[in-house]
């Protein structure tokens, strides 16, 4: 999720185990800039569900003048994170893409999705290069010091392995675990587990860090890593796409809110919060979540700065 999450202190085994439990009550994603290509709506590079969602004037009134005059909501997006934002048949699609597209409609503008590296999204939003960003960006107390968030979903982490591999999240000392660079799994979760291993006199977990989720999956399938760790829906999608070559390990852990980041002090955060809430209240949010089989992580309301850790 570079990390905006604080490094773990040196602790004894008992306290480290407690620390892991606390830290794993986050869930994650990334942070830092650099757009590459444009997408969505008029630019024809993104795909969303046909929608009857229309502008709501009272909500659109909170959109900053510059965005309203431009007519577009510029969204930075790392598009390698299925099912939230990914490329299918040459178009950018996913749960986050559909949702932010309808949020923009409520605001009376068009969402313009711009491909960008996962690392750097928060900085780019804070600097005004993007109005907001996706996908699956965990709202944390540390990140709320950089940007404001509008929470819209909740998810946890899950591991996966090749069937028959004898590795578990709680028994991975000395093994190699694949992660996407700068995600929560990279910067906190696996690192915390590794510290527990070392404190217990065992070998540390070896992190294999990759730029894309496809590379993470390939590392496990080719035997370069014994397992992978990612956000639960991402792991589920990776397992489904593997054709039986991967299986999930244990259950989902460490649920935490995802949020749309907005530059601090901007009225856009209020506008987006009201727009997401409008989509929740009208049932459109549920339609999008069910389309992507993400009903389990639906939230009852949109909250500004709702970090739980």
Please tell me the number of Cα atoms within 13 Å of 69 on its side-chain side: 3
> 188 is in which domain, residue-wise?
157-254
**In-domain check, residue 306:** no
The rounded Cα 241 to chain-centroid distance in angstroms is 19
**In-domain check, residue 248:** yes
The model's confidence at residue 176, banded by pLDDT at 50, 70 and 90, is very high
Q: In the chain, helix, strand, coil percent, each to 5?
A: 35, 25, 40
Tokens 């007519």 belong to 71
**In-domain check, residue 180:** yes
177 and 230 co-located in one domain: yes
**In-domain check, residue 31:** no
The CATH number that applies at residue 278 is: 3.40.190.10
Tokens 């773990």 belong to 8
Q: Residue 69: phi, psi to the nearest 5?
A: -70, -35
Q: Looking at the 3D structure of the chain, how many domains does it have? A: 2
290 and 184 co-located in one domain: no
Token output for 54: 């229309």
Model confidence, pTM: 0.76
- pLDDT, tens only, 267-282: 999 999 999 999 999 9
Within 10 A of 216 (CB to CB), how many other CB atoms are there? 30
State the pairing for strand pair 206-210/176-180. Answer: parallel
**In-domain check, residue 195:** yes
SS3 call for 108: coil
- pLDDT, tens only, 75-99: 999 998 899 999 999 999 999 999 9
CA distance 17 to 22: 9
**In-domain check, residue 59:** yes
Q: What percent of the chain has pLDDT over 70?
A: 83
DSSP category for residue 8 = P
């Amino acid at each position: 999720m570079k990390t905006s999450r604080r490094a773990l202190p040196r602790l004894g085994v008992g306290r480290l185990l407690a620390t892991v439990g606390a830290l794993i009550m986050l869930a994650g994603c990334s942070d830092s800039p650099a757009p590459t290509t444009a997408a969505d709506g008029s630019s024809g590079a993104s795909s969303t569900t046909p929608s009857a969602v229309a502008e709501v004037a009272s909500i659109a009134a909170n959109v900053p003048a510059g965005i309203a005059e431009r007519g577009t909501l510029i969204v930075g997006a790392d598009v390698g994170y299925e099912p939230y934002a990914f490329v299918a048949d040459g178009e950018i699609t996913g749960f986050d893409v559909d949702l932010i597209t309808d949020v923009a409609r409520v605001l009376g503008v068009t969402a313009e999705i711009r491909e960008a590296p996962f690392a750097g999204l928060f900085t780019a939003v804070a600097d005004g290069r993007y109005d907001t960003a996706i996908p699956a960006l965990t709202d944390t107390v540390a990140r709320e010091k950089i940007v404001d968030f509008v929470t819209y979903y909740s998810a946890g982490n899950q591991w996966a392995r090749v069937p028959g591999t004898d590795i578990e999240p709680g028994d991975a000392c000395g093994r190699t675990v694949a992660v996407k660079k700068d995600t929560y799994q990279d910067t906190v979760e696996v690192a915390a587990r590794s510290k527990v291993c070392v404190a217990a006199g065992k070998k540390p977990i070896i992190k294999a860090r990759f730029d894309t989720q496809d590379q993470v999956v390939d590392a496990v399938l080719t035997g370069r890593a014994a397992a992978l760790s990612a956000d639960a829906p991402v792991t589920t999608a990776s397992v489904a796409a593997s054709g039986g070559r991967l299986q999930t390990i244990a259950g989902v852990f460490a649920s935490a809110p995802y949020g749309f980041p907005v530059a601090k002090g901007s009225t856009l955060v209020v506008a987006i919060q009201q727009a997401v809430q409008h989509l929740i209240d009208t049932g459109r949010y549920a339609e999008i979540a069910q389309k992507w089989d993400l009903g389990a992580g639906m939230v009852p309301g949109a909250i500004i700065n709702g970090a739980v850790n």
